[in-house]
Each structure stands twice: as structure tokens, then as C-alpha cells.
Amino acid sequence: MPFRKILTRFLLVLSCALSSSSIAQAAPASANPTLTINAANAAHEVSPLMYGLMTEEINHSYDGGLYAELVRNRAFLDDAQQPVQWSVIQGSGSAATISLDPQQPLSEVLKTSLRLEVSRASAQIPAGVANSGYWGIPVQPDTRYRASFYAKAAPGFAGALTLAIQSTDGRTVYARAQVDGLTGQWKRYEAVLQTASDVLPTTQARFTLTVDQPGTIWLDLVSLFPPTWNDQPNGFRKDLMQMLVDLHPKFLRFPGGAFLEGSNINQRFQWKKTIGPLTGRPGHAGLWGYRASDGMGLLEFVQWCQDMGAEPVMAVYAGYCCDDTHVDPGPQLQPFVQDALDEIEYVTGDAAGTRWGAQRARDGHPEAFTLHYVEIGNEDFFDKSNSYDGRFAQFYDAIKSKYPQIKVISSVGNENPLPLLVHSRAPDVVDEHYYRAAEDFIKMSPAYYEAYARNTRPEIFVGEWASYEDPKTKPWDPGSKSLPRTPNFKAALGDAAWMTAMERNSDLVVMNCYAPLLVNVNPGASQWRPDLIGYDALHAFGSPSYYAIRMFSTNLGDECLAIAVSASSVQASATRDSRTGEIFLKMVNPTPVGESLQIQLDGINSVQPTATALTMAADPTATNSLDHPTAVIPVTSTVPDVKPLFVWHVSPNSISVLTIKTR
Ligand code: AHR
């Protein structure tokens, strides 16, 4: 992240942390800790979009993450000088060289191919190329891998190409296939590689393409996919999708984050270059230090939403980049406004009657998607030129005049009271971001949103938030690089306290999503911590924060009930499912001291004598990892003797959800 942006963020966070530290609530020592729920009437509705996901290409979230492609640098564009991630396979008795060849482009945008020149090879000692994947190729037993590639050969080569998934030393072949019939013209080839049922899972593997006779071959768009979610071509990794679906996300914010803005205007997210056949997608230099293949393009994002039953919250590039440059509002900005209108049309337009809807149909998705929210830019509070007001107004007017039903989100949030918001047009929603130390979230959560005015200000989308453990090691501090990529239970306590605050105030806070969502935990793969879900090529795990969010998002209901907490350190929220009468009482005890908490249910006619408790309690330093993926997870138990007034023993350092049946 550019230095100026980092410095500004540091000052912003520091001032918020200082101003919030006075809000801490101390429990009087003498009185009985009591939590009273007013169940007679709902205080307000719970926003139906309360919990969602935020995503961008950071930490190898897509390439080397959710996007199931296993071949890294498949189009040979990651480095202009070398075919990085590719190596020559040769032995004593075979010889080959590889190089980038700009003279043999596959397409107008895939301008470089890989030239493989084999001077000696035989069936016993083949020669070729190997791809090391994203920190290995994941080998699973009894699995079908789909390979595809474009190839052509120089005159004189008539041999076959052998594709294999093999150990990194080449001694063990896990799966193999052959293709032949290469000609002098580019052509696409496909093959299936099947592993045996007794193969042991490993990431210590590579993908190889070899020949058994001399010749010259060109390769491009070399691809290998394991089985994907819903078996979709160009699709998503199944285990990660399952973890996301298990969060019951109601929306997906994409494509960033700072990834939307880019480090300069040429490196912004240009959606038109991310649609259609992969041969037409050049990819681009992402903001976070590595090239994005854009195999996860705009259509894949909305498809991803559909797969999860979530709605898109689409951010459009708004003329500001992470190098702190902006496009002036007015005629210079107009092409970008038009680009956003085209983008909305691509997602929502009729296949028969609109240009971009028709394009979406040609790209394989005739049905229009539903889109209720569009965000203008990302974190434009970093733009100190005061151009956002004009830029926002120009986007707002254009979008509202064509799509009056769309709610337009301002990326300038984190401002209370309202007069500090400078907008010529009143945004429907403002996006607030909070990266805070767990202890700061714990201090600020009891009263933070309660202090916001109602009815005179836009709704709030907390579009990025996360707790980190050590106040001295913020996500953007260099010191954070040496820490585990996913947070420990201390952070989950801060996160859970913050979620109680957002739930209690969900009349105002209509959407929220943790960020970043995904991290490849291999050394060097990530740029930011903490992150919610960690993985390597083979395995994935949820952080304690992941489980905390899941506890909250899957036990929500549609009504918020007023609560009062006295003489207690517990932070809480209570919601109810109006159809079933179930009350979900969420409690966070961020202290090392347990409590016998009297729970008083006011205004109920009846209550079932047993309730269900979902509890996650651990030492604050405890955490999950690839090796110990479930060290900290919630456990279910039965709560006996539930009455209109009953006692719940709150464990030290715990997050719990009681499901109380009132019918
Ligand atoms: O979530 C990581 C980054 O934090 C996002 O890209 C950006 O919006 C914020 O600064």
C-alpha cells in the first residue's frame, strides 16, 4: 500500500482509538450481573442483509485461492523476462530449453507464449516443462483433473504430449494423459487426469508437459482444474466455497478494496477486460504486488454471488487510485461514469434489449442478475483533494437517472456526527471501515453506534472490519508480516463484541463484512493480516473469528430486541425469529473471569424449559492453523431450567449464543 495511504490510515486509526478509549464500561463489583431482554415488542427489524462477505485479489485470494486454477502463470505474462513458475524437464539423455516468445502470440491480449525447444528426448527420457503451481499442485485420491492448453508445433514434430501430475522430483506419477495431433496452428487441447484411490494427499507435486522426441512447441493458457463447486468450468475451489456458504452470506462486496482502485489509473480494475473467453483476458498488475489473471472476472463474481444465494454489492471505479491521484469531475470523469453504467447493464440488463446484457448472454449467462447496491469507489476519504464530492455527485446522478431503484453507497464513511459528511448528493448508504485492536473494539462496542443519530443520516455499511491482537502491530505495520496470517481467539473476542454492537444497531448498520476474507498462508503469499480463512493448496481452516461470525450470522432472526446489561462485563445482543419465536441471545465475555449472569426475559408468555447453547471459549492466545484447524471451535450444549428468570454461567473468555424457544 502506498506510503501516503498508510500514514493517513495510521493517523485516522490513532485518533479513533484515543477518542473511543473513554467509553469503557466497568462492572460494579457488588450487584448481581443481570441481562434483561425486552421481548414484549421488537425494538426494530434486523437488516435482512446484515452479514455478508468482502472480497478482493489480496493474499492470493483468487489466484492461488478460491479460483480453482492450479497452474500459476498459465499465460506467461507474470514476468516480462522469464517464464516464472515454469522449469525445464530434462535428464541425462534428453535436453530442452524454454523461453518466452513474443513472436508467437496466442491472441491480441495474450501476447507471449512459451517456446519449448527439445533437442534430445526419448520415451525413456522425455523432456518438457513443469509448473510448480501455487505453492504446489494439490494431489487428492480418486480425483479427476481437467487439463487444457493451446499449442502449436514447428514443422517436423509429430509426437504426442504427455501431461502428468507428478511428485516434485518426478519419481512418482499420480496421474497421466496424452494428447497428440499438434499442427502449425494454435489449437485448444483438453485431457482428463485421474488419480488412483490409494494416492496420499500432498502438495509436493508439479504439473508437467513432456514429449519423447525432438521438436519445437509453443504453449499458452496452460490450465489444470480439480473438481469445482457445482462442477462449473472456470470455477471455484470446493472446500473454500463450502466454508463461505456455511456463513450464510447475504451479499458479496467486490471487486475491492484497494484492488478496485489499483496503484495507478492503468492498474485499476477494468471490468471489460475481465469478461468473455480467457483468451481475451490479459489480466493486470494487481495492487497487492502480484499479477491478477482475472480468471475471476465480473461474470464470475456475480456467478459466485448466485452460487451462495448472496446479492452483489458492486463497487465501481470512481476516478481515484492508491497513488493518491484522481480524475477531475466533469468531462474527464465522464468515460468512467459511462463505464460504470455499462457495468451495471452487463449485470442487470436484458439479454435481448441491451448491448451489455446481450454481451453477458454471449458470455454464457442470459439471465439478468439482481443488483440493489452500487458503491462509488473505495476509501475515498484518502483523497484530500476534495474531488470526491463532485465525483460522487456525477456517478450518483447518472446511476439514479437510469436505475432509480439502485442504492448508491458512498465510500466516505467513518464520520459521525453527520455534518462532517460533505456530499452534494445524499448517499443512500455510507461505507465505514474499522481495523481495530481487539481491546479497542471491546471498549468502544457498548456505546459506539448507540451514539449515532437516527433518521437524519444515511444507513451504514461496515464494508471492512477486523480485530487484530496487538495494538502495536496494525495490519499495515511491517511487524505484522512475521505474525500468523489468521487471528487468535483474542481477536475473535473483539470481533464478537463489535458484532453485538452492529446487531443492536442494525436499524442503522444495515450490512457488514469482515476483511480480508481469504489468505493463502504459504510464506510470501500474503500482504495483510489478520484474515478470516487460511489455506494452502490442499487444506483450509477457519480462524476463531470465522467461527465467531458463523455463530452470529447463522443465528439471526429478523427482529432486534432491546436489552439492558447491568453489573456485568458481558456484551450482548438479542434477536428473534418472528416466525418461530426463537430468541438468539449472543453474549461475549472478554474477561478472564466467569460470571453467573441472571437472564431476565420480560414480556414473554411462555418459554421452553431447555435452550441450546453454542459456546466458544478458549485462552485468548489459542488459535487454529493448517495443522490444528479445529483447536478453537464452538460446541453445542443444552441449557436446563430455562425460565423467565434464569442463570447462565458465562465462561471466562467466551462467546456464546443461546437459542431460547418462547413458543
Ligand atoms: O482489506 C485490506 C485493505 O484495507 C483494503 O483493500 C482497503 O480497502 C483497506 O485499506
Q: Which of 379, 480, 485 has most ligand 1 atoms within 8 Å of its beta carbon, as the pocket-test mutant?
A: 379
> Does the C-beta of 378 come closer than 6 Å to ligand 1?
yes
Cβ(471)–Cβ(439) under 8 Å? yes
User: How far, in Å, is the centroid of ligand 1 from the Cα of 356?
Assistant: 30
Cβ(130)–Cβ(86) under 8 Å? yes
Rounded CA separation 296/291 (Å): 13
Q: Measure CA of the first residue to CA of the last residue in the chain; give whole Å.
A: 53
User: How far, in Å, is the centroid of ligand 1 from the Cα of 448?
Assistant: 22
> Does the C-beta of 516 come closer than 6 Å to ligand 1?
yes
> Does the C-beta of 322 come closer than 6 Å to ligand 1?
no
Which residue from 42, 262, 49, 71 is spatially nearest to 150, judged by alpha carbons?
Answer: 71
User: How far, in Å, is the centroid of ligand 1 from the Cα of 232?
Assistant: 29
> Does the C-beta of 256 come closer than 6 Å to ligand 1?
yes
> Does the C-beta of 528 come closer than 6 Å to ligand 1?
yes
Give the Cβ contact number of residue 433 at 10 Å. 22
Residue 80, CA distances (Å) to 113, 114, 347, 368, 485 in order: 11, 12, 34, 38, 30
Q: Whose CA is nearest to atom 5 of ligand 1?
A: 257
Instruction: State which ligand 1 atom lies nearest to the alpha carbon of 515.
Output: 1
User: How far, in Å, is the centroid of ligand 1 from the Cα of 463?
Assistant: 10
- 565 Cβ contact partners less than 8 Å away, ≥ 6 residues apart: 33, 34, 35, 36, 571, 572
**What stretches of 173-310 adopt beta strand conformation (E)?**
173-179, 187-194, 205-211, 215-225, 251-254, 284-285, 291-292
**What stretches of 382-491 adopt beta strand conformation (E)?**
407-410, 429-437, 459-468
Q: Which residue has the cell 456526527?
A: 417
DSSP-derived secondary structure letter, 651 = P
Q: pLDDT at position 422, please? A: 57
> Does the C-beta of 286 come closer than 6 Å to ligand 1?
no
User: How far, in Å, is the centroid of ligand 1 from the Cα of 487?
Assistant: 17
> Does the C-beta of 464 come closer than 6 Å to ligand 1?
yes
Domains and CATH numbers, the chain: 3-43+558-660 (2.60.40.1180), 53-66+230-553 (3.20.20.80), 86-225 (2.60.120.260)
pTM: 0.95
> Does the C-beta of 13 come closer than 6 Å to ligand 1?
no
Cell of 99: 523461453
Burial class (CB in 10 A: 0-12, 13-18, 19+), 233: exposed
Q: Which residue has the cell 434477536?
A: 575
Among the residues of 460-593, which ranges form H helices? 489-504, 544-553
**Torsion sign (Cα): 58, 63, 64, 65:** positive
Instruction: State which ligand 1 atom lies nearest to the alpha carbon of 516.
Output: 1
> Does the C-beta of 375 come closer than 6 Å to ligand 1?
no
Rounded CA separation 576/660 (Å): 9
**Residue ranges in the chain modelled with pLDDT below 50:** 1-4, 6-29, 418-420
Rounded CA separation 546/124 (Å): 50
Q: Which of 59, 263, 464, 512 has most ligand 1 atoms within 8 Å of its beta carbon, as the pocket-test mutant?
A: 464
DSSP-derived secondary structure letter, 139 = B
Among the residues of 129-275, which ranges form H helices? 238-245, 258-261
Q: Whose CA is nearest to atom 8 of ligand 1?
A: 257
Q: pLDDT at position 7, please? A: 37
Q: Whose CA is nearest to atom 4 of ligand 1?
A: 257
User: How far, in Å, is the centroid of ligand 1 from the Cα of 209?
Assistant: 39
Q: pLDDT at position 29, please? A: 46
Cβ(430)–Cβ(412) under 8 Å? yes
Q: Which of 54, 528, 531, 533 has most ligand 1 atoms within 8 Å of its beta carbon, as the pocket-test mutant?
A: 528
User: How far, in Å, is the centroid of ligand 1 from the Cα of 581?
Assistant: 39
User: How far, in Å, is the centroid of ligand 1 from the Cα of 258?
Assistant: 5
User: How far, in Å, is the centroid of ligand 1 from the Cα of 161?
Assistant: 44
Rounded CA separation 58/68 (Å): 16
Q: pLDDT at position 457, please? A: 85
**What amino acid occupies position 311?**
E
